[in-house]
Chain A
Amino acid sequence: MNSADVILDVKGLTTSFQTAGGCVKAVNDLSFTLRRGETLAIVGESGCGKSVTSFSLMRLLSRQAQIQGEAWLTGRDGERLNLLALSETEMEQVRGRQLGMIFQEPMTSLNPLQQVGEQIAEAMLTHKLCDRKQARQRALELLTLVGISAPEIRAQQYPHQMSGGMRQRVMIAIALACKPQVLIADEPTTALDVTIQAQILRLMRKLQGEVGMGMLFITHDMGVVAQIADRVAVMYGGQLVEMADTRTLFRRPLHPYTQGLLASVPRPGQSGRLAGIPGQVETVYGPHLGCRFVNRCAQAREVCRVDRPVLFVHPAQQLVRCHFAGL
């Protein structure tokens, strides 16, 4: 791995919340790196901490969240910034410009009182990338790029006048407006139909090529993962359970969860019931013994209940957290 190429280096990220029911450790000791121009897909069980990871990196969590660890971002001019240690004003410089984010909730994430064109242009104006007129122009271009027709009209519409997929695309346009170094995309295409999705994926890849944008791509769609990701990280219960390059992961998933995940994807022509992973999803509350996945794992044995598995490095840089993966 060429370390000079590393654009985002996350070490031991741990995020916990204080809630009525106690302390929730949503992300637990997560480490990964992201290279220039690379797409790292994060997949995993719903609620395993993917979004919290991205909010932690963006430092957008409310003050009741506690974040630990380090996250080094290589800035545009090569400087290295620890995102988790920056002051709020420094962070403002980073957000949007160096580190963009697409949010999961398209309906509520747009300002209901501002025309969407304005909202896109604002991103560029904030970082003084161009003047107002140019920003407007760029906003129209971006809308076209994300596949919204009649951008002149749409730019003047308000979020409530758009369909879910359109709002999602507006979000994407906002995040892409400043061509950030690193883009965190939290399920950016869930609300999109396949043709637009394909178009958006293509657009993202193009930008990656242009500006060497690194991308953390959070999704549940294994098809999308296969399409866009260079590497895949699989999370379960706040932890990284497997990480490998895309081809390896699809060919030879090591962790039983990954295996189950891939098996759950319906194949063309398949009909009726889907495979799925049986068993009750685990709560992420509190400390735990043993493996997180133990309750749903078909291969679980006694040791899995009592002994916490560690990340195990396989050949070909495949990481896996399972007692039996090496066997």
Chain B
Amino acid sequence: MSHSSLGAAACKKFTSSKVAVFGLVVFLSISLLCLFSRQLFSFDPNAIDLDATLLPPSALHWLGTDQIGRDMLARTFAAGRISLLVGLASVLLAVLIGTVLGALAGYFGGWVDNLIMRLVDMVMTFPPIIVLMTLAAVIGSGTGKTVIVIGLLSWPLVCRLVRARILSVREMEFVAAARTLGAGHGYILFKHCLPNTMDVLVVFSSLGFVSAIMAEAGLSFLGLGVQLPDASWGSLISIAREASVLRQYPWIWLPSGVFIVLTALSANFIGDGLRLIFDPKTNKE
């Protein structure tokens, strides 16, 4: 009845979904491994050893070594730190901007909608490469900036999705009911409209997480993204551009790929669990 028991109920609902729990466990373990990789693994992820290049997985190097002899186990998890950070933060940013603007546009309509949607039109039209190139030159490099750039480029889709959903939700009668109870626009938006966008936000977030990770890899050339000697999952996968790496040294890129899929998948499962909390009707089926 109280709020804590509501939280407990939500928890119970969440845990009632096996996949959601599985997702959470996987996600947390990967995050922890990445976060504490430097403490956990004996190798320095950036330590090069030109006498031990391209070694296949062995007892010493569990995931082998790369072209300049770095331990891929340590490197993969160290890369994960950056990728997780970039993925999560930029998706968060995109969702934040997109949801706020989309909600405003969809809910208020009229000139607000017009203004925001024209902004969306504009951002969608900007060729990302040009924006990135210029931004990189103007604002310089760094992980934080990468997050901002990716976030700033990917919010329009969220915005359109949220707006479209809210356009129909705002016509529903319970919204009118809330208004007659004295609910202000903010309250209606947050309490009644936005929960209805959960489904698309969950999908966007888990897909956006992956695209942010991949985008980050592409950005490092522009001075954004991860800088040498550090790596990110995206940049490790990009090494597979080298045909020999792709075919002969899969231990360099495959683990990162697997981890990207795993984290995205678990994020998605978590999202599904969250959806259960928000959608009473899909209870335990």
Contact = CB atoms under 8 A, between A and B. Distances in A.
Contact of A62 (B9, B168, B173, B285): B285
Nearest to B283: A64
A107 B283 CA distance: 23
B50 to A, nearest CB: 62
B284 interface: yes
A64 B173 contact: no
Contacts of B285: 62-64
A64 B280 CA distance: 13
Contacts of A62: 281, 285
A20 B171 contact: no
A160 B283 contact: no
B9 A20 contact: yes
Nearest to B282: A62
Interface in A96-127: 107, 112
A267 B202 CA distance: 56
Nearest to A18: B284
The number of chain B residues touching the other chain, given as a range, is under 10
A160 B284 contact: no
Contacts of A112: 168
A112 B281 CA distance: 19
Contacts of A107: 173
Contacts of B283: 64
B281 to A, nearest CB: 8
Interface string A140-183: 00000000000000000000100000000000000000000000
Interface string A38-66: 00000000000000000000000011100
A101 to B, nearest CB: 19
Contacts of B168: 112
Contacts of A20: 9
Contact of A64 (B9, B171, B284): B284
A167 B65 CA distance: 69
B9 A160 contact: no
A104 to B, nearest CB: 15
A160 B283 CA distance: 28
Contacts of A160: 171
B6 to A, nearest CB: 11
B109 to A, nearest CB: 16
Interface string B1-21: 000000001000000000000
A233 B41 CA distance: 74
B168 to A, nearest CB: 8
Contacts of B284: 64
B210 to A, nearest CB: 32
A160 B168 CA distance: 11
Interface in B246-285: 281, 283-285
A160 B171 CA distance: 9
Interface in A56-106: 62-64
B242 to A, nearest CB: 51
A110 to B, nearest CB: 13
Nearest to B281: A62
A110 B218 CA distance: 48
A62 B173 CA distance: 24
Give the 7 A-B CB pairs with smallest separation, nearest first: A63-B285, A64-B284, A107-B173, A20-B9, A64-B283, A160-B171, A62-B285
Interface of A: 20, 62-64, 107, 112, 160
Interface of B: 9, 168, 171, 173, 281, 283-285
Given A20-B9, A107-B173, A112-B168, 4 more contacts: A62-B281, A62-B285, A64-B283, A64-B284
